[in-house]
Amino acid sequence: MRLLAFSLLTFLLSGACAQRSTSAAQSNLTAQGTATEATAAPQSEGPALIFRKTPCFGTCPAYTATIYADGRVEYEGQSNVPLTGTHQLRLPADTVAYIRREADRIGFAKLRPVYTANISDVPSTYLTMPQPDGTMKEVRVDVDAPAELTKLLEYIHRQVKSVAVAKK
Protein backbone atom coordinates (compact mmCIF):
# COMPACT_ATOMS: atom_id res chain seq x y z
CA MET A 1 0.00 0.00 0.00
CA ARG A 2 2.87 2.37 0.83
CA LEU A 3 4.43 1.63 -2.56
CA LEU A 4 1.20 2.46 -4.36
CA ALA A 5 0.96 5.72 -2.42
CA PHE A 6 4.62 6.52 -3.23
CA SER A 7 4.08 5.83 -6.93
CA LEU A 8 0.94 7.95 -6.99
CA LEU A 9 2.74 10.77 -5.16
CA THR A 10 5.66 10.53 -7.61
CA PHE A 11 3.23 10.67 -10.52
CA LEU A 12 1.37 13.68 -9.13
CA LEU A 13 4.53 15.57 -8.20
CA SER A 14 6.21 14.90 -11.55
CA GLY A 15 3.12 16.20 -13.36
CA ALA A 16 2.99 19.32 -11.20
CA CYS A 17 6.71 19.98 -11.70
CA ALA A 18 6.45 19.47 -15.44
CA GLN A 19 3.42 21.76 -15.65
CA ARG A 20 5.12 24.44 -13.53
CA SER A 21 8.34 24.37 -15.59
CA THR A 22 6.37 24.44 -18.86
CA SER A 23 4.33 27.42 -17.65
CA ALA A 24 7.50 29.25 -16.62
CA ALA A 25 9.12 28.54 -19.98
CA GLN A 26 5.99 29.74 -21.79
CA SER A 27 5.90 32.96 -19.74
CA ASN A 28 9.57 33.57 -20.43
CA LEU A 29 9.19 33.05 -24.18
CA THR A 30 6.07 35.20 -24.36
CA ALA A 31 7.69 37.96 -22.32
CA GLN A 32 10.59 38.00 -24.79
CA GLY A 33 8.16 38.13 -27.72
CA THR A 34 9.63 34.95 -29.23
CA ALA A 35 6.80 32.45 -28.81
CA THR A 36 7.47 29.23 -30.69
CA GLU A 37 5.76 25.90 -31.21
CA ALA A 38 6.93 24.90 -27.74
CA THR A 39 4.41 27.33 -26.24
CA ALA A 40 1.64 26.05 -28.48
CA ALA A 41 1.92 22.50 -27.18
CA PRO A 42 2.24 22.42 -23.38
CA GLN A 43 3.63 19.20 -21.95
CA SER A 44 0.74 18.44 -19.63
CA GLU A 45 0.28 14.78 -20.60
CA GLY A 46 1.14 12.47 -17.73
CA PRO A 47 3.90 9.89 -17.85
CA ALA A 48 3.72 6.97 -20.26
CA LEU A 49 5.37 4.84 -17.58
CA ILE A 50 7.30 4.93 -14.34
CA PHE A 51 10.15 2.45 -14.00
CA ARG A 52 11.84 1.92 -10.64
CA LYS A 53 14.55 -0.39 -9.37
CA THR A 54 15.11 -0.72 -5.63
CA PRO A 55 18.41 -1.24 -3.78
CA CYS A 56 19.69 -4.43 -2.19
CA PHE A 57 22.53 -5.13 0.25
CA GLY A 58 24.88 -5.61 -2.73
CA THR A 59 25.46 -3.62 -5.90
CA CYS A 60 21.95 -3.60 -7.35
CA PRO A 61 21.15 -0.46 -9.34
CA ALA A 62 18.58 1.78 -7.65
CA TYR A 63 16.82 4.53 -9.59
CA THR A 64 13.49 5.89 -10.73
CA ALA A 65 12.76 6.91 -14.32
CA THR A 66 9.53 8.70 -15.13
CA ILE A 67 9.18 8.41 -18.90
CA TYR A 68 6.87 10.47 -21.13
CA ALA A 69 5.52 9.59 -24.58
CA ASP A 70 7.69 12.26 -26.23
CA GLY A 71 10.83 10.61 -24.81
CA ARG A 72 11.48 12.91 -21.87
CA VAL A 73 12.86 11.05 -18.86
CA GLU A 74 12.88 12.46 -15.36
CA TYR A 75 15.62 10.35 -13.82
CA GLU A 76 16.70 10.04 -10.21
CA GLY A 77 19.71 7.80 -9.69
CA GLN A 78 20.20 6.64 -6.11
CA SER A 79 22.95 4.02 -5.98
CA ASN A 80 25.03 1.68 -8.10
CA VAL A 81 24.11 3.54 -11.28
CA PRO A 82 26.28 5.45 -13.75
CA LEU A 83 24.45 8.71 -12.98
CA THR A 84 23.31 9.70 -9.49
CA GLY A 85 21.04 12.57 -8.58
CA THR A 86 18.19 14.11 -10.54
CA HIS A 87 18.61 14.55 -14.29
CA GLN A 88 16.56 15.19 -17.41
CA LEU A 89 17.32 12.53 -20.03
CA ARG A 90 15.80 11.69 -23.39
CA LEU A 91 14.83 8.42 -25.03
CA PRO A 92 13.67 8.23 -28.63
CA ALA A 93 9.88 8.58 -28.74
CA ASP A 94 9.83 5.41 -30.87
CA THR A 95 11.40 3.51 -27.98
CA VAL A 96 8.68 4.68 -25.61
CA ALA A 97 5.99 3.74 -28.14
CA TYR A 98 7.60 0.29 -28.50
CA ILE A 99 7.56 -0.22 -24.72
CA ARG A 100 3.88 0.70 -24.57
CA ARG A 101 3.02 -1.65 -27.46
CA GLU A 102 4.95 -4.50 -25.84
CA ALA A 103 3.18 -3.92 -22.53
CA ASP A 104 -0.16 -4.13 -24.33
CA ARG A 105 0.96 -7.21 -26.26
CA ILE A 106 1.93 -9.12 -23.11
CA GLY A 107 -1.30 -8.13 -21.35
CA PHE A 108 0.26 -5.83 -18.77
CA ALA A 109 -3.18 -4.72 -17.56
CA LYS A 110 -4.04 -8.30 -16.57
CA LEU A 111 -0.75 -9.19 -14.85
CA ARG A 112 -0.65 -9.86 -11.13
CA PRO A 113 0.42 -6.86 -9.06
CA VAL A 114 3.34 -8.73 -7.41
CA TYR A 115 5.74 -11.48 -8.45
CA THR A 116 7.81 -12.50 -5.44
CA ALA A 117 9.27 -15.45 -3.58
CA ASN A 118 9.36 -13.45 -0.30
CA ILE A 119 13.14 -13.53 -0.03
CA SER A 120 14.82 -10.70 1.83
CA ASP A 121 17.53 -8.75 0.02
CA VAL A 122 16.07 -9.32 -3.41
CA PRO A 123 15.75 -6.03 -5.28
CA SER A 124 12.40 -5.16 -6.77
CA THR A 125 11.58 -3.71 -10.16
CA TYR A 126 8.38 -1.69 -10.48
CA LEU A 127 6.63 -0.82 -13.70
CA THR A 128 3.70 1.57 -13.43
CA MET A 129 1.60 2.47 -16.46
CA PRO A 130 -1.59 4.45 -16.99
CA GLN A 131 -4.57 2.39 -18.08
CA PRO A 132 -7.34 3.37 -20.53
CA ASP A 133 -9.73 4.01 -17.62
CA GLY A 134 -7.32 6.58 -16.13
CA THR A 135 -6.03 4.39 -13.30
CA MET A 136 -2.37 3.55 -12.78
CA LYS A 137 -1.44 -0.14 -12.91
CA GLU A 138 1.70 -1.10 -11.00
CA VAL A 139 3.49 -4.44 -11.16
CA ARG A 140 6.31 -5.32 -8.77
CA VAL A 141 8.77 -8.02 -9.75
CA ASP A 142 11.25 -9.59 -7.35
CA VAL A 143 11.53 -13.04 -8.94
CA ASP A 144 9.47 -15.59 -10.85
CA ALA A 145 7.75 -13.23 -13.30
CA PRO A 146 6.49 -14.38 -16.69
CA ALA A 147 9.31 -14.51 -19.24
CA GLU A 148 7.77 -11.84 -21.49
CA LEU A 149 7.44 -9.41 -18.58
CA THR A 150 11.03 -10.08 -17.51
CA LYS A 151 12.19 -9.44 -21.07
CA LEU A 152 10.29 -6.13 -21.19
CA LEU A 153 11.71 -4.98 -17.83
CA GLU A 154 15.25 -5.84 -18.95
CA TYR A 155 14.70 -3.88 -22.18
CA ILE A 156 13.48 -0.81 -20.29
CA HIS A 157 16.45 -1.02 -17.91
CA ARG A 158 18.92 -1.23 -20.82
CA GLN A 159 17.34 1.78 -22.52
CA VAL A 160 17.39 3.94 -19.38
CA LYS A 161 20.93 2.86 -18.53
CA SER A 162 22.13 3.72 -22.06
CA VAL A 163 20.86 7.31 -21.88
CA ALA A 164 22.19 7.71 -18.32
CA VAL A 165 25.64 6.54 -19.43
CA ALA A 166 25.51 8.85 -22.46
CA LYS A 167 24.80 11.85 -20.23
CA LYS A 168 27.62 11.01 -17.84
Residue 138 — φ and ψ, nearest 5°? -120, 135
User: What pLDDT, on the 0 to 100 scale, is given for residue 118?
Assistant: 82
User: What pLDDT, on the 0 to 100 scale, is given for residue 120?
Assistant: 79
How many distinct helices (H) and strands (E) make up the chain?
4, 7
Q: Kindly give the residue spans of alpha helices, DSSP state H, lying in 33-145.
A: 37-40, 93-105
Instruction: Supply the pTM of this predicted model.
Output: 0.74
User: What pLDDT, on the 0 to 100 scale, is given for residue 168?
Assistant: 78
CA distance 114 to 14: 24
User: What pLDDT, on the 0 to 100 scale, is given for residue 132?
Assistant: 92
User: What pLDDT, on the 0 to 100 scale, is given for residue 38?
Assistant: 32
Mark the ranges of the chain whose per-residue pLDDT is less than 70: 1-44
CATH label, 2-32+44-167, candidates 3.40.720, 1.10.150, 3.30.1560, 1.10.3120: 3.30.1560
Which amino acid does the sequence have at 79?
S
User: What pLDDT, on the 0 to 100 scale, is given for residue 35?
Assistant: 30
